[in-house]
């Protein structure tokens, strides 16, 4: 028994819900908030496009690489301990980012932030599950958790713009500190204890080889902007990625309790939704990165105006995520996913004439379509994946989809950053147009994958999980 006098059960559960939601909120905000600071960081550190790509990607790369490990750590050591540790690590890293005096230091602390985020997200759901034993109450708690993350992701650019205008770029990181301290206190005092399972394997060799494959791929794609595709270093990084990926597959195939059971991919729905999720985040985060540079470096928007410029594309995420959760049971996973991807294709292609006319007003409707279409598709494929696997595989399946989406975001920022690497306006705009055409093409590929791999109806709808996995 704890020496601290326990609060009433509803009160304790309420505090746990707030702590879990705050954890997801700060993680989600830091996905999008940095984009409105790109021009400010360029001036502060005399950074090029490659350096700015790493500021964004360092966070997402470690986040993606460590998600499965974080879930395993929570199972082995207890979700409460790992969740609290994630809060502490994320908060300390935010202080480091806010006090960084070089671009290298900022990137380094962003890597640590990504690890803290990975520890927070899967274990926030675990502590919620322990705090709410009633299925209905747990469903509502997870719904609020997801709504908080979706709202934070949408509000990130606006909040970031206002903070930068009022207090400078360091404030977008330091604002996490009081939130982190409150979250740690609430978790440690009110979250119920969770037992670890010593038998759960952490699969260290699989984790290292998988992370190395992702890191070398991200390095090759990102550094190509400054070193060119002919560089031996770039080709060496690609080769290392392929070899590490092959080692990872071999380890997971032979490991009896590997972190990623390869038989999951024999399920066509799992394979299809994983690829669709990767493509969705690739095009979304890649275009958000390039538009951040467009608004700030080419159109010379202030940080707060840049944040407001993203509002149509971001705010629609929350609305369409909720709509997707309600429509999937009526329309079916395949039809709703196809509809969302089709809307997104129209949105991305409709941006081309608006950019040719140098008109922000002309971008508003296409941004609503692009963001809304993606937001319809992602919760739907999440629901389809979870409905297609056994209950005991739901956690690893969700982790796989989240990891694939984070990898897609890293690839999008790296690839589209290469297209817009030239500072001259004409070359930049040509590269941005290339990014939009590639986005539409990849979404058409995702459309074909959805047609071939998704069932018309979701056999066993998982409403809670649909709402819970909203990190578009």
Question: For each of the chain's 472 residues, which pLDDT tens digit applies?
Answer: 344 444 445 557 778 878 888 888 888 888 778 888 888 998 899 888 888 888 988 898 888 778 777 777 777 777 788 889 999 999 999 999 999 999 999 999 999 999 999 888 878 777 777 777 666 666 566 667 766 776 777 778 888 888 998 899 999 999 999 998 998 898 888 777 766 555 556 677 887 888 888 888 878 877 777 777 788 888 998 899 899 989 988 888 887 766 677 777 888 888 999 999 999 989 998 998 899 899 988 999 988 888 888 888 877 877 787 777 678 778 888 899 999 999 999 999 999 999 998 889 999 999 999 988 988 888 888 778 877 877 666 667 767 787 788 888 888 888 898 898 888 889 999 999 999 999 999 999 999 999 999 876 544 444 433 333 433 3
Q: At what angle do helices 9-32 and 49-77 cross, to 10 degrees?
A: 160
Nearest alpha-carbon partner for 341 in 364, 312, 375, 313:
375
Q: How far apart are CA 178 and CA 31, in angstroms?
A: 19
| 54 contacts 224 by C-beta, under 8 angstroms | no
* Cα 88 to Cα 101: distance, rounded to the nearest angstrom: 22
Q: What angle is formed at CA 155 by the lines to CA 225 and CA 371, rounded to 5 degrees?
A: 65
Are 447 and 345 in contact, with CB atoms under 8 Å apart? yes
Distance set, CA 245 to CA 98, 248, 324, 387 (Å): 35, 5, 34, 28
Report the distance separating Cα 183 and Cα 354, nearest Å: 43
CB atoms near residue 11 (< 10 Å):
11
């Amino acid at each position: 028994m704890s020496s601290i006098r326990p609060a009433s059960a509803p009160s304790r559960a309420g505090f746990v819900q707030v702590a879990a939601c705050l954890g997801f909120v700060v993680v989600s905000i830091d996905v999008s908030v940095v984009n409105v600071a790109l021009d400010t960081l360029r001036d502060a550190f005399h950074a090029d496009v490659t350096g700015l790509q790493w500021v964004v990607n360092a966070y997402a790369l470690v986040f993606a690489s460590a998600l499965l490990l974080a879930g395993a750590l929570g199972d082995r050591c207890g979700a409460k301990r790992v969740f609290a540790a994630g809060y502490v690590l994320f908060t300390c890293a935010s202080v480091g980012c806010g006090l960084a005096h070089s671009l290298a230091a900022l990137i380094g602390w962003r890597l640590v932030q990504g690890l803290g985020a990975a520890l927070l997200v899967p274990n926030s759901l675990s502590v919620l599950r322990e705090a709410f034993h009633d299925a209905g109450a747990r469903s509502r708690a997870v719904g609020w958790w997801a709504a908080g993350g979706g709202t934070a992701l949408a509000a990130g650019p606006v909040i970031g713009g206002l903070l930068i205008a009022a207090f400078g770029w360091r404030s977008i990181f330091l604002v996490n500190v009081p939130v982190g301290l409150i979250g740690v206190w609430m978790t440690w005092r009110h979250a119920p204890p969770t037992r670890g399972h010593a038998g759960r394997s952490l699969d260290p060799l699989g984790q290292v080889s998988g992370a190395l494959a992702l890191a070398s791929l991200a390095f090759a794609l990102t550094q190509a902007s400054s070193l060119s595709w002919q560089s031996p270093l770039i080709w060496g990084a690609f080769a290392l990625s392929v070899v590490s990926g092959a080692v990872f597959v071999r380890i997971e195939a032979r490991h009896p309790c590997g972190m990623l059971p390869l038989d999951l991919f024999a399920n066509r729905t799992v394979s299809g939704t994983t690829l669709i999720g990767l493509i969705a985040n690739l095009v979304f985060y890649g275009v958000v990165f390039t538009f951040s540079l467009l608004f700030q470096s080419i159109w010379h928007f202030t940080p707060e105006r840049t944040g407001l410029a993203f509002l149509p594309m971001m705010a629609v995420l929350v609305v369409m995520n909720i709509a997707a959760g309600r429509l999937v049971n009526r329309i079916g996973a395949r039809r709703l996913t196809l509809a969302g991807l089709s809307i997104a294709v129209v949105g991305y292609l409709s941006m081309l004439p608006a950019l040719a006319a140098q008109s922000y007003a002309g971008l508003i409707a296409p941004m609503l379509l692009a963001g809304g279409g993606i937001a319809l598709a992602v919760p739907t494929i999440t629901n389809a994946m979870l409905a297609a696997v056994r209950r005991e595989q739901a956690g690893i399946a969700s982790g796989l989809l989240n990891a694939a989406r984070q990898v897609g975001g890293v690839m999008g920022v790296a690839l589209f950053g290469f297209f817009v690497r030239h500072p001259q306006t004409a070359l930049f705009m040509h590269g941005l147009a290339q990014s939009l055409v590639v986005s539409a093409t990849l979404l058409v590929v995702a459309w074909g994958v959805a047609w071939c791999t998704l069932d018309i109806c979701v056999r066993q709808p998982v409403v809670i999980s649909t709402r819970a996995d909203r990190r578009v």
